[in-house]
Structure 1
Amino acid sequence: MRCLKMLVIAAVLMFGLTSCGVTNHMISNYNVSQTQLVLSKDNFRVIGDVEGRARATYVFGIGGLSRKAVRENAIADMYRNARLTGAQAVNNITTTVKVRSYPFVMEYEFIASGQIIEFTGE
């Protein structure tokens, strides 16, 4: 009987401490700053990369912002981190979603990344 009790406790602990994770990488041009590059000339240079993050946690499906709002917060954080000046823009924006699932809890983390480019006078 003691062995069965220990087995049940071990099974409950294993179930309670496990989690699942999924990652989804989205490439889309849904941002409001539409930047067009004329590639026939060398009229821009790449300054660097920028990244922004936002997270939401749902317990029993309740809590946090909508996933769309969390994605937009990640993009806003990316623009805030970019500190754009003059003729600079963020291009090639991608969004990665990391979903972590625990019993009764879902956690979404959105990571927006892009390249900072600067237009030259040529």
Structure 2
Amino acid sequence: MIKKLSIIITLVGTISLTSCAGHYGLTSNVNNHSTQVVLSKKNFKVINSVSGDASVTYIFGIGGLSKKALITEAKAEMLQNANLEGGAKAVINETVEIKGSSFPFFGRKLVTVSAQVIEFTE
């Protein structure tokens, strides 16, 4: 009886402490920009690397109703951190990373948008 009880406790403990996580980055150009700048000359310098995050939490699969699109929120925060006003600056090499993790009855999704800020010298 004690052996069965210890197996059940071990099994329940193992299941309750497990989780699952996934991560993928969107390195292809899924971001549609209407402006194109050709960086073939050495008329710019990289001045900063910036990022922005947005996350949502789900309990029993329900949640995130007060959030807009996570990539949009993360990108807006990244652009705010880029401080593009007051000069000839642009954001390049934009990357979107998405990480999802889940536990029993609980889940979380985190989106990170990162890029480099350049300033034109000419």
Tell whether the structures are fold-level matches, with TM greater than 0.5: yes
TM-score between both structures, scaled by the size of structure 1: 0.86
| Alignment CA distance shift 1:81-1:46 (3 Å) | same
Unaligned runs of 5+ in 1: none
Equivalent residue number for residue 58 of structure 1:
58
SS state of the match for residue 69, structure 2? Answer: helix
Unaligned runs of 5+ in 2: none
The one-letter code of the counterpart of 2:115 is G
| Identity in percent | 42
Decide whether the 8 Å contact of 1:29 with 1:93 is kept in 2: no
Equivalent residue number for residue 108 of structure 1:
109
Which range is displaced more, 59-68 or 106-115? Answer: 59-68
Equivalent residue number for residue 70 of structure 2:
70
Matches within 5 A, 1:1-122: 1-27=1-27, 28-32=29-33, 34-39=35-40, 41-65=41-65, 69-85=69-85, 86-121=87-122
Q: Could you give the per-residue CA deviations for residues 68-116 of structure 1, whole angstroms, max 9, x where no partner exists?
A: 7111111111111111231111111001111111112221111110000
Segments ≥4 residues shifted beyond 2 Å: 31-35, 65-68
Q: Determine the C-alpha separation between the residues in 2 that align with 1:103 and 1:32.
A: 39
**Displacement of 1:3:** 1.8
| Alignment CA distance shift 1:64-1:96 (3 Å) | same
TM-score between both structures, scaled by the size of structure 2: 0.86
Count how many residue pairs are aligned between Structure 1 and Structure 2: 120
Decide whether the 8 Å contact of 1:97 with 1:108 is kept in 2: yes
Q: Determine the C-alpha separation between the residues in 2 that align with 1:38 and 1:5.
A: 67
Decide whether the 8 Å contact of 1:44 with 1:119 is kept in 2: yes
Which range is displaced more, 89-98 or 1-10? Answer: 1-10
